[in-house]
C-alpha cells in the first residue's frame, strides 16, 4: 500500500510473494533460457530462492551490502564479495542476477560490471528485480513495478532488522 504522500510503500507478505510470482511470469514470457540464478544477498535472497524453485535452476549467492546504518535505513559504502557461492563449482553460462530493487542503481551496476570483468565463464547476464525507483541509474532487464515517487519500501520482514534475541525471549516467554 502506497501512502498518500507517495513517500512510503508498505508491502505485506502476500503482496511480496505475489510480486515475485509476477516477476517469474515476466522472465518466463521473455523466452530467455538461463543456467543459474545469482541472488544478491540480502535483498535478493528471498526472490532468488523462489525463482530458483519455480525455474528449477541452481541458486548462487553473492553478498553485497550498502544499507547497514539505522536498522538498514541509511545507505553507506557499497561492499561486494569477492567470491560467489554456487553448488556447481564455478558460475558460468547465462546468469540471471536477482535483487529486490533497483534503488539508486549503484549496487546492480557495480555487480554487473564486476561479473562482466571478472567472471569470464559467464556468457550472458540479465537482471531482475521486484521494484525499480525512478531515481535508479540502472535499468534492470526484468521488473514488476516502477516507482515514480521513489518511496521507501517497507518490506514485510524488516521488523527483524531491529529485533534482538532478548526481545524474542520476552515475546515467547510463558
pLDDT tens by residue, 11-29? 999 999 999 999 999 999 9
Question: Is the pTM value of this prediction over 0.85?
Answer: yes
CA dihedral 65, 150, 48, 36 (to 10 degrees): -90
The C-alpha cell of 173 is what?
516467554
pLDDT tens by residue, 91-107? 999 999 999 999 999 99
**pLDDT tier for residue 6 given thresholds of 50, 70 and 90:** confident
Q: Nearest Cα to 91, choosing from 39, 127, 129, 56? A: 39
Ordered by start, the domain boundaries in the chain are 8-172
The reported pLDDT for the residue numbered 76 is 55
Multiple choice CATH, 8-172, 1.10.357.10, 3.30.365.10, 3.40.120.10, 3.40.50.2020 = 3.40.50.2020
Amino acid at each position: 500500500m502506497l501512502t498518500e504522500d507517495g513517500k512510503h510503500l508498505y508491502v505485506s507478505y502476500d503482496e511480496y510473494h505475489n510480486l515475485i510470482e509476477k516477476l517469474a511470469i515476466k522472465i518466463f514470457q521473455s523466452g530467455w533460457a538461463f543456467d543459474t540464478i545469482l541472488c544478491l544477498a540480502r535483498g535478493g535472497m528471498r526472490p532468488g530462492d523462489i525463482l530458483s524453485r519455480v525455474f528449477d535452476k541452481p541458486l548462487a549467492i553473492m553478498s553485497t551490502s550498502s544499507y547497514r546504518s539505522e536498522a538498514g535505513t541509511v545507505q553507506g559504502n557499497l561492499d561486494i564479495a569477492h567470491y560467489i557461492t554456487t553448488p556447481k563449482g564455478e558460475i558460468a553460462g547465462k546468469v540471471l542476477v536477482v535483487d529486490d530493487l533497483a534503488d539508486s542503481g549503484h549496487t546492480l551496476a557495480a555487480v554487473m560490471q564486476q561479473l562482466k570483468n571478472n567472471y569470464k565463464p559467464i556468457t550472458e547476464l540479465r537482471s531482475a528485480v521486484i521494484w525499480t525507483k525512478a531515481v535508479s541509474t540502472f535499468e534492470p532487464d526484468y521488473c514488476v513495478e516502477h516507482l515514480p515517487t521513489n518511496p521507501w519500501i517497507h518490506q514485510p520482514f524488516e521488523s527483524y532488522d531491529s529485533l534482538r534475541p532478548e526481545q524474542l525471549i520476552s515475546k515467547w516467554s510463558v
